[in-house]
Chains A and B, each alone.
Chain A
Amino acid sequence: DAGVTQSPTHLIKTRGQQVTLRCSPKSGHDTVSWYQQALGQGPQFIFQYYEEEERQRGNFPDRFSGHQFPNYSSELNVNALLLGDSALYLCASSLAGQVPETQYFGPGTRLLVL
């Protein structure tokens, strides 16, 4: 039973560029959440996707956008990268309606913006 997978593992971009990160949820899960974790901080919620729609969004600018595909996998897109976007980006999957709803995290993608 595959867990949550993310790609790529590491990425270096230049300020102003665009980046796409990918996530495949744990088998049987239908909900994907994305988090940004800066060095020394806890994960900050970006948004959550369910049934191919953004269901909840955290306090992140519109430069951060996402998508969920029919197979429940998801992408996180960040446009016009800033130096401050350098962080570990975590994807988490869960099963909607499960009580309690526990999120399972992938290994993350470490993004460095130069």
Chain B
Amino acid sequence: SQQGEEDPQALSIQEGENATMNCSYKTSINNLQWYRQNSGRGLVHLILIRSNEREKHSGRLRVTLDTSKKSSSLLITASRAADTASYFCATGWASGGSYIPTFGRGTSLIVHP
């Protein structure tokens, strides 16, 4: 089963608008990461937020984490057509020397030019 679940499943916006995606998870985590996937290709790591952090920025990306609600959000500001992709959250737990991220089903984002 998948730990994190993204919401919405699909999002369609116009270029220039902001896009917000949410992720909920079930168990304790060390960190939460967001990945992007273009057209069924490999995943690209976007940003990692640790369990003791509440907000993190990277360029046009803003991630928040609320461990009490077991949820995270990814905000993409001033979206571009090139942001069209699927976005996945991955919750991580390190155990026995290994780290295995668990992915949700993703949010499919379409940005119309």
- Chain A contact residues, CB within 8 Å of chain B: 4, 31, 33, 35, 37, 39-45, 48, 50, 55-56, 58, 88, 90, 92, 94, 96-97, 100-108, 110
Question: Helix, strand, loop or mixed for chain B's interface?
Answer: strand
Question: What class of interface size applies to chain B in its complex with A?
Answer: 20 to 34
C-alpha spacing A102/B99, complex, angstroms: 9
Q: What's the A-B contact tally at a CB cutoff of 8 Å?
A: 70
B41-A107 in contact (CB<8A): yes
C-alpha spacing A43/B98, complex, angstroms: 18
C-alpha spacing A50/B48, complex, angstroms: 23
A96-B97 in contact (CB<8A): yes
A42-B88 in contact (CB<8A): yes
C-alpha spacing A102/B33, complex, angstroms: 9
Query: Which of chain B's residues have a CB closer than 8 A to the CB of A92?
Result: 43
Query: Which of chain B's residues have a CB closer than 8 A to the CB of A108?
Result: 40-42
Instruction: Choose the segment among B12-20, B55-63, B68-76, B101-109 that binds chain A (4+ C-beta atoms closer than 8 Å).
Output: B101-109
1/0 contact trace for B81-104 toward A, CB 8 Å? Answer: 000000010001010111111111
